[in-house]
Amino acid sequence: MSERLRNKTALVTGSTSNIGQAIAEAFAAEGAHVVVSGRDRERGARVVQGIRASGGHADFVAADLDGSAQASQDLAARARAALGGRIDVLVNNAGVYPAAETATTDEKTFDQVYAVNVKAPFFLTAAVAPAMTEWGGGVIINLGSWIARLAVPVGALYSSTKGAMETLTRAWAAEFGPKGVRVNAISPGVILPPAPEGSEPHPGLVMMKGTPAGDVGTPDAIAHAAVWLASDEAAFVHGTVVDVDGGRTGVAVIAA
């Protein structure tokens, strides 16, 4: 690796599996000291062990980001302590996806999804960004989704939260960019989950038929984009949503 993130520190939420794990591992491989965060201590310990076994630097900080300001502030404080006092890169990745139609979504589910997908990253960013400006700069990367712009059935609630995150990305770029903090987002397409789930035919494959890629993506594809956005190579990139979706949202799909 080129160590593009050498001497940097990073907090990646929801990084005990799938996309978050891939981002944490990629950051560590590029030289960053990473805080792996999530609710599952056992999975978190395995991710950290794997990073360390590969020569990287990582620590696990357990957190249940329930949307309260206190939970986000507590994670920010404990992550800073684990990282030696500062967070250079924040990745707001943690999220939940309820597979429910609008008419069958109850208020409790609605509130929970917005709490985890919008309120938690909002208050975590509020707890991290000001300190970044004091240190002279930093990077915030949000995770959006392709279905925020290309609707699918049974996705109204989730896609609306991801649309909110894309809007917050632009708003935070305007708010924090002049103070040295770059804020961008990645919009993943249909991503192949890790094995053993990924060993079976992916149900999302039908959504990728006729696209330029013609297949589902992998968590590593998102991680590569995150490394680029976190690095100095993306120094002139602000308020942008990077589509990593095999062309699903930007190119006409040819019916197969």
Distance CA 161, CA 144 (A): 9
3-state secondary structure 213-236: CCCCECHHHHHHHHHHHHCHHHCC
Provide the 3-class DSSP secondary structure of residue 201: coil
Beta bridge partners of 241: 185
Amino acid sitting at position 195: A
Distance CA 152, CA 187 (A): 15
8 Å CB contact between 80 and 130: no
8 Å CB contact between 157 and 105: yes
Q: Answer yes or no: 158 catalytic.
A: yes
Using the CB atoms, write b or e for 132-157: b if 16+ within 10 Å: beeeeebbbbbbbbbbbbbeeeebeb
Catalytic residue among 158, 176, 208, 221: 158
Q: Which residues are catalytic?
A: 158
